[in-house]
Every structure is written in C-alpha cells, then in structure tokens.
Amino acid sequence: MTITAPTRDTRLGPAATAALRTLIVTVLAGGVSGLVAGGILGRLGMRLLAVTSPTIAQGRLTDDAARVGQFTLGGSLGLALALAVTGAFLAPTYLLVRRVLPAARTRRVAGSALITGAVGGALLVHDHPSFDYSILQPTWLAVLLFVAVPATYGALLAYLVESLARPDPPRFPGPVSRLWHGRIVTDIGTVAYWAVVGWGVYNVGADVISLASDTASGAPWTI
C-alpha cells in the first residue's frame, strides 16, 4: 500500500473567481451607497439647509457653484448619477480597509463609517470664511451634514458588501497571499487606519474651531 503525502492546492481558479465576485459586489454596492447617501440623503440634507438659512443666502452660489434654494429634477438626477459613479469608483478601497477591520459585520460597518466620515469630513468641511459654513445656517447643521453623508456611505457600503460577498473566500496560494494575511500587514494596516482617522478628525476639529471663532484656520497639516 502506497501512502501519498497531501499536497497543497495551488490552483488560482477558486480564489480568482471569489476575488472577482467580491470586487463586482463591492463596486455595485459602492454605486448604490453613493446614490443613497449622497444623491438622496445628501440632497435632502442640502434642501433642509437651504430652508434653515437666512434670506441673504437664497439664490447665491455655494462653494460648489450650486444656487441655494434652487432644486431642479435635472440637477438632482445629475447629482445622483455623479455620486453613484463616484461611490462605485471609490468602493474597492473598502477591501483594503476591510483587511484590518474586525470580522464581525457590525464592527466592520462601524469601522468603515468612522474612516469615511473622518476623511469625507476633512475634505468637505471648510474653515472660515467658506460660504457653505459661514452664510448657510445653522453652521452646526452644515458640519453635521457633510460628515454624516460620507459616514453613511461607508456604513452602507460595508453593510452591503458583508451581506452579499462570500464571508470566507479561498485564499490565493503563494508567499504574497501569506504576507497579505500575515501579522505584519495587520499591524501596519491598523496603525495606518487609525492615523488616517486621526488626521480626518483633526482636520474637522480645526475647521470647527475656525468657524466658531470666525477666523481662518492656521492649523498645520490641514486641507
């Protein structure tokens, strides 16, 4: 009787198929998330902000060249389409963030919302005398809106991916895959994750202080 030693399956087929499926699911989820968070909820939030702003703000151009208080079907559809495409384009970055997030779906949703809210807030919230945050009122609502929209996008994206993608796909064979799933990537990725979150929170905080004091922000390392 001949005993054959077990061999490791080095076929790329199952792993490649699973990776492609996860990527497709992620891109589609990103499009849906961008549409819902930005195109629908964001548009409703901007409408609310226009209603609560003073008369002096009505009809004036925002920082993004949109007129306050003027909402058209064509403009709303164009915004929804643009944000859906943007959401789909950015969605694969979640697969990198996902690598260092806890396995539980709820914690991945929270972790994704935290980093997208922090980074999105850093990019969207501006210091004094930005029109969007100095003329549109109340200021706290404008800040909350432009942090909540990207955070909602991240949360919804993670929820859809974790609900629809295969939870434990087969891994690619070889040293690169072992490195990707190894401790060193976990440690470096975790540090990078919290560094990015900290940078985003710092930026939003600096802008909030600037808006509260009615002075331009002089904080370093801000955008």
SS (H, E, C) the chain: CCCCCCCCCCCCHHHHHHHHHHHHHHHHHHHHHHHHHHHHHHHHHHHHHHHHCCHHHCCCECCCCCECCCCCHHHHHHHHHHHHHHHHHHCCHHHHHHCCCCCCHHHHHHHHHHHHHHHHHHHHCCCCCCHHHHCCCCHHHHHHHHHHHHHHHHHHHHHHHHHHCCCCCCCCCCHHHHHHCCHHHHHHHHHHHHHHHHHHHHHHHHHHHHHHHCCCCCCCCCC
pLDDT of residue 9: 46
What count of other Cβ atoms lies within 10 Å of the Cβ of residue 49? Answer: 22
Q: How far is 60 from 66, CA to CA, in rounded Å?
A: 8
* pLDDT(40) > 50: yes
pLDDT tens for each residue of 58-82:
888 777 777 787 777 787 888 899 9
pLDDT of residue 128: 85
pTM (global) more than 0.85: yes
Which stretch, 60-64, 109-113, 172-176, 210-214, has highest mean pLDDT?
A: 109-113
* pLDDT(4) > 60: no
Domain regions of the chain by residue span: 16-166+175-213
pLDDT of residue 145: 94
* pLDDT(34) > 80: yes
pLDDT tens for each residue of 155-171:
999 999 999 987 666 67
The amino acid that residue 11 corresponds to is: R
pLDDT cut 70: percent of the chain above it: 92
pLDDT of residue 12: 57
pLDDT tens for each residue of 194-206:
999 999 999 999 9
Average pLDDT, rounded, for the chain = 87
